[in-house]
Amino acid sequence: MQHSVFISGAAQGIGAEIARLFHKNGYKVGIYDINEEQAQALAAELGTDAKAGYLDVSNYRQWQIALQEFKNWAGELNILVNNAGILYSGPFENTTIQSHHRTVDINIKGVLNGCHTALAHLKEASFARVINLSSASAIYGQADLASYSASKFAVRGLTEALDVEWQKHHIRVLDVMPLFVQTNMVKNMDAGSIQNIGVDLTPADVAKQVLHLAQQKDHALIPTHTPVGIKTKLMYQLSSISPQFLNRLTNIFLSKRS
Protein backbone atom coordinates (compact mmCIF):
# COMPACT_ATOMS: atom_id res chain seq x y z
CA MET A 1 0.00 0.00 0.00
CA GLN A 2 1.21 3.49 -0.85
CA HIS A 3 2.06 5.37 2.34
CA SER A 4 1.43 9.05 2.95
CA VAL A 5 3.38 11.81 4.69
CA PHE A 6 2.10 15.15 5.97
CA ILE A 7 4.76 17.85 6.34
CA SER A 8 4.27 21.17 8.11
CA GLY A 9 6.28 24.17 6.93
CA ALA A 10 6.87 22.36 3.66
CA ALA A 11 6.87 25.22 1.15
CA GLN A 12 10.61 25.89 1.30
CA GLY A 13 13.91 24.91 2.90
CA ILE A 14 14.13 21.61 4.74
CA GLY A 15 10.39 20.96 4.49
CA ALA A 16 10.36 21.31 0.70
CA GLU A 17 13.36 18.99 0.38
CA ILE A 18 11.61 16.41 2.56
CA ALA A 19 8.54 16.67 0.34
CA ARG A 20 10.59 16.18 -2.84
CA LEU A 21 12.47 13.18 -1.46
CA PHE A 22 9.40 11.39 -0.12
CA HIS A 23 7.55 12.03 -3.39
CA LYS A 24 10.49 10.62 -5.35
CA ASN A 25 10.26 7.50 -3.19
CA GLY A 26 6.60 6.90 -3.95
CA TYR A 27 4.78 8.53 -1.03
CA LYS A 28 1.61 10.58 -1.18
CA VAL A 29 2.86 13.94 0.05
CA GLY A 30 1.05 16.69 1.94
CA ILE A 31 2.74 20.08 1.55
CA TYR A 32 1.22 22.42 4.14
CA ASP A 33 2.51 25.87 5.01
CA ILE A 34 1.45 29.35 6.07
CA ASN A 35 2.70 30.39 2.61
CA GLU A 36 0.02 28.54 0.66
CA GLU A 37 0.95 30.03 -2.72
CA GLN A 38 4.49 28.65 -2.47
CA ALA A 39 3.16 25.32 -1.19
CA GLN A 40 0.79 25.05 -4.16
CA ALA A 41 3.65 25.84 -6.55
CA LEU A 42 5.71 22.97 -5.11
CA ALA A 43 2.76 20.58 -5.34
CA ALA A 44 2.26 21.58 -8.98
CA GLU A 45 5.97 20.98 -9.62
CA LEU A 46 5.77 17.47 -8.14
CA GLY A 47 2.48 16.64 -9.87
CA THR A 48 0.62 13.43 -9.07
CA ASP A 49 0.47 12.32 -5.43
CA ALA A 50 1.23 15.79 -4.06
CA LYS A 51 -1.32 17.96 -2.27
CA ALA A 52 -0.82 21.43 -0.82
CA GLY A 53 -2.78 23.51 1.67
CA TYR A 54 -2.71 26.34 4.16
CA LEU A 55 -1.61 25.75 7.74
CA ASP A 56 -0.67 28.09 10.55
CA VAL A 57 0.76 25.52 12.97
CA SER A 58 0.00 27.71 15.99
CA ASN A 59 -3.74 27.39 15.24
CA TYR A 60 -5.21 24.11 16.54
CA ARG A 61 -8.40 24.38 14.48
CA GLN A 62 -6.41 24.76 11.28
CA TRP A 63 -4.55 21.55 12.13
CA GLN A 64 -7.88 19.74 12.48
CA ILE A 65 -9.06 20.99 9.09
CA ALA A 66 -5.75 20.32 7.30
CA LEU A 67 -5.25 16.78 8.61
CA GLN A 68 -8.83 15.75 7.90
CA GLU A 69 -8.55 17.19 4.39
CA PHE A 70 -5.29 15.36 3.82
CA LYS A 71 -6.59 12.06 5.17
CA ASN A 72 -9.66 12.27 2.92
CA TRP A 73 -7.34 12.75 -0.05
CA ALA A 74 -4.61 10.24 0.85
CA GLY A 75 -6.77 7.52 2.42
CA GLU A 76 -4.82 7.46 5.68
CA LEU A 77 -2.16 9.42 7.53
CA ASN A 78 0.99 7.34 7.96
CA ILE A 79 3.77 9.79 8.77
CA LEU A 80 3.58 13.22 10.37
CA VAL A 81 6.66 15.42 9.99
CA ASN A 82 6.57 18.42 12.32
CA ASN A 83 9.00 20.61 10.43
CA ALA A 84 7.66 24.18 10.73
CA GLY A 85 9.85 26.42 12.82
CA ILE A 86 11.29 29.92 13.18
CA LEU A 87 14.49 31.35 14.65
CA TYR A 88 15.39 34.68 16.22
CA SER A 89 19.05 35.25 17.06
CA GLY A 90 21.04 37.74 19.06
CA PRO A 91 21.27 38.66 22.73
CA PHE A 92 18.19 37.56 24.68
CA GLU A 93 17.37 41.08 25.91
CA ASN A 94 17.69 42.57 22.41
CA THR A 95 14.98 40.27 21.05
CA THR A 96 11.44 41.54 21.64
CA ILE A 97 9.24 39.57 23.99
CA GLN A 98 6.76 39.25 21.12
CA SER A 99 9.42 37.44 19.09
CA HIS A 100 10.20 35.09 21.99
CA HIS A 101 6.49 34.35 22.32
CA ARG A 102 6.18 33.73 18.58
CA THR A 103 9.01 31.19 18.82
CA VAL A 104 7.04 29.35 21.50
CA ASP A 105 3.81 29.55 19.48
CA ILE A 106 5.32 28.02 16.35
CA ASN A 107 8.18 25.81 17.53
CA ILE A 108 6.50 24.37 20.63
CA LYS A 109 2.75 24.86 20.32
CA GLY A 110 2.94 23.96 16.63
CA VAL A 111 4.39 20.54 17.44
CA LEU A 112 1.96 20.03 20.34
CA ASN A 113 -0.94 20.88 18.05
CA GLY A 114 0.28 18.57 15.32
CA CYS A 115 0.82 15.57 17.57
CA HIS A 116 -2.42 16.07 19.48
CA THR A 117 -4.52 16.40 16.33
CA ALA A 118 -2.80 13.63 14.41
CA LEU A 119 -3.10 10.86 16.99
CA ALA A 120 -6.65 9.86 16.13
CA HIS A 121 -5.69 9.54 12.45
CA LEU A 122 -2.40 7.75 13.15
CA LYS A 123 -4.15 5.17 15.35
CA GLU A 124 -6.33 4.19 12.40
CA ALA A 125 -3.41 3.79 9.97
CA SER A 126 -1.81 0.50 8.94
CA PHE A 127 1.61 2.04 9.70
CA ALA A 128 2.20 5.21 11.69
CA ARG A 129 5.15 7.32 12.76
CA VAL A 130 5.87 10.89 13.90
CA ILE A 131 9.17 12.60 13.06
CA ASN A 132 9.87 15.95 14.69
CA LEU A 133 12.52 18.48 13.69
CA SER A 134 14.57 19.14 16.79
CA SER A 135 18.08 20.61 16.68
CA ALA A 136 21.63 20.38 17.92
CA SER A 137 20.56 23.41 19.97
CA ALA A 138 18.68 20.91 22.16
CA ILE A 139 21.96 19.30 23.26
CA TYR A 140 23.02 22.31 25.36
CA GLY A 141 21.33 25.72 25.63
CA GLN A 142 22.83 28.03 23.02
CA ALA A 143 23.84 31.62 23.74
CA ASP A 144 22.19 34.17 21.43
CA LEU A 145 19.62 31.52 20.49
CA ALA A 146 17.98 31.27 23.89
CA SER A 147 14.29 30.92 23.03
CA TYR A 148 15.00 28.89 19.90
CA SER A 149 17.20 26.53 21.89
CA ALA A 150 14.58 26.29 24.64
CA SER A 151 11.91 25.49 22.06
CA LYS A 152 13.98 22.64 20.65
CA PHE A 153 14.57 21.25 24.16
CA ALA A 154 10.77 21.20 24.44
CA VAL A 155 10.51 19.29 21.15
CA ARG A 156 13.15 16.85 22.39
CA GLY A 157 11.28 16.30 25.67
CA LEU A 158 7.91 15.88 23.97
CA THR A 159 9.43 13.41 21.52
CA GLU A 160 10.88 11.30 24.31
CA ALA A 161 7.66 11.33 26.32
CA LEU A 162 5.35 10.44 23.42
CA ASP A 163 7.75 7.82 22.08
CA VAL A 164 7.23 5.97 25.36
CA GLU A 165 3.56 6.86 25.84
CA TRP A 166 2.44 5.94 22.32
CA GLN A 167 4.13 2.56 22.23
CA LYS A 168 0.73 1.21 23.31
CA HIS A 169 -0.56 2.44 19.93
CA HIS A 170 2.49 1.00 18.06
CA ILE A 171 3.47 4.53 17.03
CA ARG A 172 7.13 5.58 17.24
CA VAL A 173 7.76 9.28 17.85
CA LEU A 174 11.27 10.28 16.73
CA ASP A 175 13.28 13.39 16.03
CA VAL A 176 16.24 14.52 13.97
CA MET A 177 18.80 16.91 15.45
CA PRO A 178 20.73 18.81 12.78
CA LEU A 179 23.28 21.54 13.39
CA PHE A 180 23.05 24.69 11.24
CA VAL A 181 21.55 23.99 7.80
CA GLN A 182 21.97 26.03 4.61
CA THR A 183 18.53 27.69 4.56
CA ASN A 184 17.15 31.23 4.76
CA MET A 185 16.69 30.69 8.50
CA VAL A 186 20.41 31.00 9.21
CA LYS A 187 21.21 33.87 6.84
CA ASN A 188 22.55 36.86 8.78
CA MET A 189 22.22 34.93 12.02
CA ASP A 190 23.55 36.88 15.00
CA ALA A 191 25.27 34.19 17.09
CA GLY A 192 28.91 33.37 17.78
CA SER A 193 28.28 29.64 17.50
CA ILE A 194 27.47 29.80 13.77
CA GLN A 195 30.69 31.76 13.16
CA ASN A 196 32.75 29.17 15.04
CA ILE A 197 31.02 25.98 13.90
CA GLY A 198 30.04 26.91 10.35
CA VAL A 199 27.17 25.73 8.16
CA ASP A 200 27.97 22.37 6.61
CA LEU A 201 24.59 20.68 6.28
CA THR A 202 22.14 21.01 3.41
CA PRO A 203 18.36 20.47 3.47
CA ALA A 204 19.01 17.26 1.52
CA ASP A 205 21.15 15.91 4.38
CA VAL A 206 18.27 16.34 6.81
CA ALA A 207 15.66 15.01 4.37
CA LYS A 208 17.67 11.80 3.88
CA GLN A 209 17.66 11.16 7.63
CA VAL A 210 13.91 11.79 7.87
CA LEU A 211 13.22 9.36 5.03
CA HIS A 212 15.53 6.77 6.62
CA LEU A 213 13.61 6.97 9.89
CA ALA A 214 10.31 6.69 8.04
CA GLN A 215 11.42 3.58 6.16
CA GLN A 216 13.03 1.64 9.00
CA LYS A 217 10.92 -1.36 9.93
CA ASP A 218 12.89 -2.61 12.95
CA HIS A 219 10.44 -0.82 15.19
CA ALA A 220 11.98 -1.32 18.64
CA LEU A 221 15.62 -0.62 17.79
CA ILE A 222 15.24 2.79 16.11
CA PRO A 223 16.85 5.47 18.32
CA THR A 224 14.51 8.21 19.53
CA HIS A 225 17.03 10.93 18.60
CA THR A 226 19.09 11.06 15.40
CA PRO A 227 21.87 13.69 15.29
CA VAL A 228 22.50 14.79 11.70
CA GLY A 229 26.06 15.42 10.54
CA ILE A 230 29.46 14.50 11.97
CA LYS A 231 29.76 17.62 14.14
CA THR A 232 26.33 17.11 15.69
CA LYS A 233 26.99 13.43 16.37
CA LEU A 234 30.26 14.33 18.09
CA MET A 235 28.61 17.03 20.21
CA TYR A 236 25.76 14.69 21.12
CA GLN A 237 28.08 11.89 22.21
CA LEU A 238 30.49 14.13 24.13
CA SER A 239 27.67 15.87 26.00
CA SER A 240 26.49 12.54 27.35
CA ILE A 241 29.85 11.60 28.84
CA SER A 242 31.49 14.94 29.69
CA PRO A 243 31.10 16.59 33.12
CA GLN A 244 28.55 19.39 33.14
CA PHE A 245 31.16 22.09 33.83
CA LEU A 246 33.10 20.98 30.74
CA ASN A 247 29.98 21.11 28.57
CA ARG A 248 29.40 24.65 29.82
CA LEU A 249 32.98 25.73 29.12
CA THR A 250 32.81 24.20 25.63
CA ASN A 251 29.66 26.15 24.84
CA ILE A 252 31.16 29.36 26.22
CA PHE A 253 34.09 28.84 23.84
CA LEU A 254 31.79 28.07 20.88
CA SER A 255 29.65 31.15 21.53
CA LYS A 256 32.58 33.61 21.50
CA ARG A 257 32.27 36.20 18.76
CA SER A 258 35.16 37.01 16.47
Q: How many CA atoms lie within 13 A of 105 on its CB side?
A: 11
Query: In Å, how far from its chain's centre is CA 101?
Result: 19
DSSP count for the chain of H helices, then E strands: 10, 7
Given 27, 140, 148, 236, the catalytic residue: 148
Dihedral of alpha carbons 245, 90, 146, 239, sign: negative
- Judge whether 140 counts as a catalytic residue: no
For residue 33, the cross-strand partners are: 54
Task: Say how far apart CA 189 and CA 166 lie, in whole Å.
Answer: 37
Contact 74, 53 (CB under 8 A): no
Residues identified as active-site:
148
